[in-house]
Amino acid sequence: MKMLTFDKALGLEFLGRNGNFRMCGLVITPLTRTRTIYLQPITSRGLVGRCALEIPASAVRAFCDALQAMALELAPAQASGQSALDGVDELIARFGPHGEHPDHPRSDWKYEVANGDTQRGYWDYVAAKLEEETNSSL
């Protein structure tokens, strides 16, 4: 029996009966007898036997297509050239940790912080504003 294991580097989270537990991994096992794919989370307490997902082999492609469609909705569209949605690290690398984005001055951010409109740090605020602009132009 083959098993595919994803580790905690994926940052997955398992919502269990007793609340939230950080998920350490995910075991994906093909079950040839029942022609299903069996997904089971691994938490810090070990395998959670009463919580699993069985996907019939006939539905695996549709399941994967649905996951991919969801992931594409969450991922920013990459335009040719420079992307409008820059990650925080790229913004800091480009403008410096104490720098300022030309379209989003620190004074605007300070105003929103003072009004309670944001609790983000400056570069997170800029990245979120750039994402909003990208999404509104779609």
Tell me the CB-side half-sphere exposure of residue 77, using CA atoms within 13 A: 10
In the 8-state DSSP scheme, what is residue 112?
H
Does 42 lie in the same domain as 70? yes
Is residue 112 one of the residues assigned to a domain? Answer: yes
**Quick one: DSSP state of residue 117?**
S
Same domain flag for 62 and 104: no
**Last residue in a domain, options 32, 50, 74:** 74
Q: Do 25 and 70 share a structural domain?
A: yes
Do 70 and 93 share a domain, yes or no? no
In a domain, 37, yes or no: yes
CA triple 45-51-52, angle to 5 deg: 115
Same domain, 27 and 53: yes
* Tens digits of residue pLDDT in 87-107: 888 888 888 888 899 999 999
Same domain as 108, residue 63: no
Same domain, 97 and 66: no
- The count of C-alpha atoms lying within 13 angstroms of the C-alpha of 12, restricted to the half-sphere facing its C-beta, is 18
Q: Would residue 108 count as lying in a domain? A: yes
Q: Which of 137, 105, 48 is closest to 125 using CA atoms?
A: 105
> Same domain, yes or no, for 64 and 126?
no
Q: What is the DSSP string of 59-94?
A: GHHHHHHHHHHHHHHHSPP--SSS-SS--HHHHHHH
Domain range for 10: 4-74
- The number of distinct structural domains making up the chain is 2
In a domain, 82, yes or no: no
Q: What is the full per-residue pLDDT of the chain (138 aa) written as tens digits?
A: 455 555 555 555 555 555 555 556 677 888 889 899 888 777 666 656 667 788 898 988 888 888 777 777 776 544 433 444 458 888 888 888 888 999 999 999 999 888 888 888 888 888 888 888 877 766
Domain membership of residue 31 (yes or no) is: yes
